[in-house]
Amino acid sequence: MATNAAQYELLDPPKDGISKVRFANQSNNLAVTSWDSTCRLYNVHDRKMKQKWTLPGAVLDCAYSQDDLYIASGGLARQFVLHNVEAGSMRTCGSHLGPISCIEFNDHSNQFVSGSWDTVVSLWDQRSKEAKIATTSCGKKVFAMACALHHIIVGTADRKVFIYDVRNLNRPLQDRESNLKHQTRDIQTNNTKDGFLLTSVEGRVAVEYLNLSKEWQDKKFAFKCHRHTDKETQSQTVYPVNCASFHPSYGTFVTGGCDGLVNVWDGANKKRICQFPQFATSIASVDFNRDGRFLAIGVSYTWEQGEKPDIPPDQICIRNVRESEIQPKKKSARI
């Protein structure tokens, strides 16, 4: 049976660039969005696609509602689309003036959140006919987003990080500048929801905390990763860190880079736990399932080197995660 294998691929992957892999909250269904203008739903146990919705343009992100009854998606068509998982239907609830780059679900308010290149962050209530219930402009293109309790953490152009209270979007609670020197690629909140990490195009990850007190801010740090040093010339190639995901039990996390590698990190002890075998091309997206037994890996060239001949086909890989690969260790390579 496929799910007994250490790692296996799902059938019928997207044809043109995976943008997001996202596990459901209460099952092992996996939503996958793509530049081929589709949002797909898979059952990772039988490897098969259950649903496929075709949208007017490339789909850049998606998120599940807390009860898993809905998947929201958005992309270059600028439309916020709600997919009914049980009925297989979809409806357009509203739009942004620019492409929608980020979709999240805020459990605290039971609402979807979207972020766009039009600089706007919007709240959506799937239970309401009017759907869009609040908006705010952070003044810069939104590149990454995450939710932690009542906080919305927004990473934008010019290395800015804005933190909003979902109960009042009028102005950000915090206006920060990333301590990474280049563009933010992903934001993920930790399991205790008191901190988050940023990944960037410069082959670095930053671990940050919401509390602005000196005690908490002294804990933050950044580290280099997804870099390759040529043994002969000693020249170093730096790869963008496209994505990250926290393990739901251990609080360790994985990062995926344009070097085709997935690394596992113990942030609390500032150590690398392990590295999975290299994939044929970039890691576009990663996500742990609800109990951390499975890791979904979207393998897809992310155009960091421009047009290339013979690009490897997209893959959605499911890894059966062993405790030895994800549990913190006393002895491992230091960050």
pLDDT in tens, 266-305: 998 899 999 999 999 999 999 999 999 999 999 998 877 7
Domain of residue 231 covers: 2-334
Q: How much of the chain exceeds pLDDT 70, in percent?
A: 97
The 3-state DSSP composition of the chain as helix, strand, coil percent (nearest 5) reads 5, 50, 45
The pLDDT, as a whole number, for residue 259 is: 96
Element (H, E) at 215: helix 214-217
Q: At 324, is the secondary structure helix, strand, or coil? A: helix
Count up the domains in the chain and report the number. Answer: 1
- State the pTM of this model: 0.94
Spatial CA neighbour of 23 closest among 257, 248, 195: 248
At 1 the pLDDT is 42
**DSSP letter, residue 265:** E
Q: Phi/psi at 323 (nearest 5 deg)?
A: -60, -35
Q: In angstroms, how far is the first alpha carbon of the chain from the final one? A: 37
The pLDDT assigned to 309 comes to 79
The pLDDT assigned to 329 comes to 78
CATH of the domain at 11: 2.130.10.10
pLDDT for 118: 98
Please check whether residue 47 is in contact with residue 6, taking contact to mean a CB–CB distance below 8 angstroms: no
pLDDT for the residue 241 = 97
How many whole angstroms from its chain centre is CA 88?
A: 24
CB 328 within 8 A of CB 252: yes
Residues (pLDDT < 70) of the chain are: 1-5, 331-334
Show the tokens assigned to 188: 């993920």
pLDDT on residue 158: 96
